[in-house]
Amino acid sequence: MSDAIHDRPSAEALKTAAAAWLERRDRDDWQQTDQDALNAWLEESTANSVAYWRLEAGWARTERLSVLRGGTRHEHPNSDEKRWPRLTRIVAALTLMVALGAVGVNYLLRSHEKYYATAIGGHEIVTLEDGSSIELNTDTALRLSRAGNSRLVTLDKGEAYFQISHNPAQPFIVNVAGHRVVDLGTKFLMRSQFGQVEVTLYEGRASIENMQASGQKQKALLSPGDVAIATATTMTVTNEPAHTLINELAWQRGFLVLDHTTLADAARDLNRYNHQQIVIVDPAVARMQMYGTVPINGVDGFIRVAQDVLKLNVIRRGGDIVISR
């Protein structure tokens, strides 16, 4: 569903709601129904998602600070007593956000910056005022803003396909994981996960540059067919055939194309679109290959192929589907 934010609750109300969800999530009695309810709340608006992610990040930071200080917490088995330290951590996270990022949080919630997000399995097309479009794949979040004449996008996570109306007077810039991509009249696909950025250029030209102070200042100018893969310290560029590039966009039609694809890679891609997670525990099974097309929500079909065609053992264990010989 579309997550453009127009009428938002106050920042304080959003933080309070996010804190309540984080407190519930950390209880021992958290169930799948609770997770479904949280997912639904996150999908209601991107303001909800932004508040939740920001608070979760602040909470994680308080946890790290606790570890760095050498603090070790021994909880009493009584559930009420366990809950209070969790609430204390949430209060600490909120305090940390106020101390370190109150100005930043207010800036994020200002009306001139727009937010878009998709849930796991989601798909959304955003059309911009200048005719450009951005197509968001599963579990993706990005922000749109302007800085002077520049059109700015920050890809917080996930994958998006950009079709940009080129205007030299208004550069289109994407910031992602410490890297900057500048459009030069372009159609390109960008994915950010696990600290790695992947940019596939379909049309036009684009530049990618490492902007991290600690990383090497690497830069590449991409031509159609080029795929750049960048981390904090490395950048490689290869040129791929047209059919490979087309297959990479099959998600736009609701499919994944498997072409000499290992089961490990197929499972990893399917896991991006589904709450049920496929786990392959046998390295030999992980190296087996599959061919054909699979719906992005086709976990059951994947299981049938694994059982009936590949004669593998499938066990459901909690929310996971474990595949082995």
Q: Is the same domain home to 104 and 122? A: no
The answer to whether residue 15 sits within a structural domain is: yes
Using CA atoms, how far residue 233 sits from 196, 210, 230, in Å, is 10, 8, 8
Question: End-to-end alpha-carbon separation of the chain, Å?
Answer: 39
The answer to whether residue 5 sits within a structural domain is: no
Q: Is the same domain home to 123 and 227? A: yes
Domain termination site, one of 108, 138, 169: 108
* Gap between the Cα atoms of 297 and 253, Å rounded: 12
Q: What is the CATH number of the domain that holds 191?
A: 2.60.120.1440
Q: Is the same domain home to 239 and 293? A: no
Q: Is the same domain home to 274 and 211? A: no
Q: Is the same domain home to 154 and 224? A: yes
Query: Residue 319: phi, psi to the nearest 5?
Result: -90, 5
Q: Please state whether 123 falls in left (phi above 0), alpha (psi between -120 and 50) or beta.
A: beta
Per-residue pLDDT of the chain (325 residues; tens, 9 = 90+): 444 434 456 777 788 888 888 878 777 777 777 777 887 777 676 677 777 776 765 554 454 444 444 444 444 445 454 455 555 656 655 665 555 454 444 444 444 789 999 999 999 999 998 899 999 999 999 999 988 888 999 999 999 999 999 888 889 999 998 899 998 878 999 999 888 999 999 999 999 998 876 656 789 999 999 999 999 888 999 999 999 999 999 999 999 999 889 999 999 999 999 999 999 989 999 999 988 899 999 899 899 989 998 899 999 988 899 999 8
pLDDT of residue 41: 79
The answer to whether residue 3 sits within a structural domain is: no
The answer to whether residue 299 sits within a structural domain is: yes
The answer to whether residue 92 sits within a structural domain is: yes
Domain termination site, one of 188, 215, 244: 244
Domain termination site, one of 214, 244, 274: 244
Domain count, the chain: 3
Q: Is the same domain home to 194 and 228? A: yes
173: its two tokens: 């810039």
Q: Is the same domain home to 215 and 284? A: no
Q: 61 lies in which domain range?
A: 11-108
